[in-house]
Amino acid sequence: MLAPALVLASSSPRRFELLGRLGVVPARIAVPDIDEAPLKGELPRIYVLRVALDKAAAVERSPDEIVLAGDTVIAVGRRILGKPADRAEARAMLALLSGRRHHCLSAVVVVDRDGVVRHRLSDTIVAFRPLPAAEIEAYLDGTEWQGKAGGYAIQSRAEAFVRFLSGSHSGVVGLPLMETRALLKTAGLTLA
């Protein structure tokens, strides 16, 4: 039996790059077209897993392919911080995160050749130091916050905001590598 081909169900260049750290290059990339709006009253853990499952289900798969999908959100209590729509929303998110702990939830879903769906959830606790308003504005003058859950990119300048992290750094970037590796191996992908 031939080794399965991997389909990455994501438009995220960060997920593609992180897969490379595992020595994996997707055979193809398919961008799922789904509604990512939270449902009324939906809790962050349920939301992030639902969205990752929806992304995986939205991608067509041939019998020799496995699909990898993921989603990442920032959670402050029951509040879900997705990707900010604009600078004002990003400013409000960073002000909310300033000086406090939050959870970065990253769900990974793999659909194997037989259609079996497996998933894992990474929960990383991140604590930001207090962020003066001028520092938030200086950060927002750049573009790295755009398209990032919670309005920040930990792999760039925002790493200097972090005073404490417990969990998966790669999960905060967008794809928890330990969980992803385990799921891909279980699905039959050969990894080093």
Catalytic, 54? Answer: no
Selected catalytic residue, list 71, 86, 114, 141: 71
Cβ partners under 8 Å of residue 161, min gap 6: 97, 128, 129, 131, 152
Question: For the chain, give me the number of helices (H) and strands (E)?
Answer: 6, 7
Residue whose structure tokens are 């790493």: 159
Cβ partners under 8 Å of residue 148, min gap 6: 83, 84
Catalytic sites, residue numbers: 71
